């Protein structure tokens, strides 16, 4: 049976540079979304093709921010790609601005059936959905589960997708298995469940499972730091995507992403306004570039 250690989703051919559509929002200030995805994927030798789902003056942890919903531009944007016969090797989606944008991602799936699909269902954290996410949008996000080659929810997002009651971050192995099996049964080909923190333990656990194996979750842990930062979920998913497109197994990609986040978080408290600005990943981009060695 196939496990996450056996599954290497992408085979890199020589000097070929894969092209990946990054369907995320863009923030002018604060570290998240395309502001993380573009440099991280580029450092791994990936041609990042942004599809901006919203424009923000700053991310939503700031008291004041301006948001421009880009839903109306997505169809003509993708029409232009279609006219130019743009080729893609992958589709990596994250934060969406409206329920209708799920349809734009599904259009990409139809037009690029061979593209590898990574879905980071960015909807909330700590048991609460983000303030720009409506119930309609959260419900529409469920439509992306069955199209995902890799699905990377945290516990809050997994709860929204499955309907399993959110039980905090300190959850049992049985809860992890139930959540992952439910997502696999919804059609995800593999699931990375992020951010399990058990009381009194200095580690953060991520679990990965593959549908065509026996579905048994494999645990990958990294050091737990005593503070939370904005943007770590985006950095994790982008680091995982970078590792996959340099030929790593899914297990190795999760392991790399966890370490990348920890290393970036270690540097972050030295920076001004770090608690709202977000995770300082810039100094660890060399770790991503090393994936090409």
pLDDT at 132: 85
pLDDT at 202: 93
Ramachandran area for residue 30 (φ above 0: left; ψ -120 to 50: alpha; else beta): left
Domains and CATH numbers, the chain: 19-271 (3.40.1190.20)
High-pLDDT (> 70) share of the chain, %: 98
Residue 198 CA to residue 158 CA, distance in Å, equals 18
Compute the average pLDDT of residues 32-43.
Answer: 98
Residue 148 CA to residue 145 CA, distance in Å, equals 5
Ramachandran area for residue 135 (φ above 0: left; ψ -120 to 50: alpha; else beta): alpha
pLDDT at 1: 52
Is residue 76 predicted with pLDDT exceeding 80? yes
- Buried/exposed 224-241: b ≥16 CB within 10 Å, e otherwise: ebeeebbbbbbbbbbbbb
User: For the segment 241-266, what is each residue's pLDDT rounded down to a tens digit?
Assistant: 999 999 999 999 999 999 999 999 99
pLDDT tier at 7 (50, 70, 90 boundaries)? confident
Compute the average pLDDT of residues 76-81.
Answer: 98
pLDDT at 61: 84
Is residue 279 predicted with pLDDT exceeding 60? yes
pLDDT at 212: 79
pLDDT at 2: 65
pLDDT at 9: 86
User: For the segment 42-75, what is each residue's pLDDT rounded down to a tens digit?
Assistant: 999 999 999 999 999 999 889 899 999 999 999 9
20: closest CA among 100, 120, 130, 139?
A: 120
Report CA-CA distances (Å) from 3 to 24, 114, 152, 179, 266. 29, 22, 17, 18, 31
24: closest CA among 116, 96, 120?
A: 96
Residue 44 CA to residue 236 CA, distance in Å, equals 14
């Amino acid at each position: 049976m196939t496990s996450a250690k056996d599954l290497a989703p992408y085979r890199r051919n020589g000097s070929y540079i894969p092209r990946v559509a990054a369907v995320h929002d863009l923030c002018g200030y604060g570290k998240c979304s395309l502001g993380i995805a573009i440099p991280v994927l580029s450092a791994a030798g990936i041609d990042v093709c942004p599809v901006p789902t919203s424009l923000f003056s700053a991310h939503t942890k700031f008291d004041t921010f301006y948001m421009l919903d880009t839903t109306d531009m997505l169809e003509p944007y993708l029409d232009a790609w279609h006219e130019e016969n743009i080729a893609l090797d992958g589709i990596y989606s994250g934060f969406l601005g409206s329920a209708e944008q799920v349809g734009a991602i599904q259009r990409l799936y139809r037009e690029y059936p061979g593209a590898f699909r990574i879905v980071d269902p960015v909807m909330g954290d700590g048991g609460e959905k983000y303030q720009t996410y409506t119930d309609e949008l959260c419900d529409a996000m469920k439509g992306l589960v069955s199209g995902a080659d890799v699905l990377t929810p945290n516990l809050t997002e997994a709860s929204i997708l499955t309907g399993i009651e959110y039980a905090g971050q300190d959850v049992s192995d049985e809860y992890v298995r139930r959540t992952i099996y439910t997502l696999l049964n919804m059609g995800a080909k593999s699931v990375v469940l992020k951010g399990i923190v058990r009381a009194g333990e200095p580690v953060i656990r991520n679990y990965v499972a593959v549908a065509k194996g026996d579905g048994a979750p494999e645990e990958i842990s990294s050091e737990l730091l005593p503070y939370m930062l904005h943007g770590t979920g985006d950095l994790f998913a982008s680091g995982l995507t970078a590792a996959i497109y340099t030929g790593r197994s899914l297990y190795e990609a999760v392991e790399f992403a966890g370490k990348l986040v920890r290393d970036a978080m270690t540097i972050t408290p030295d920076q001004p306004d770090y608690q709202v600005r977000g995770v300082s990943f810039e100094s660890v981009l060399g770790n991503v570039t090393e994936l090409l060695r």
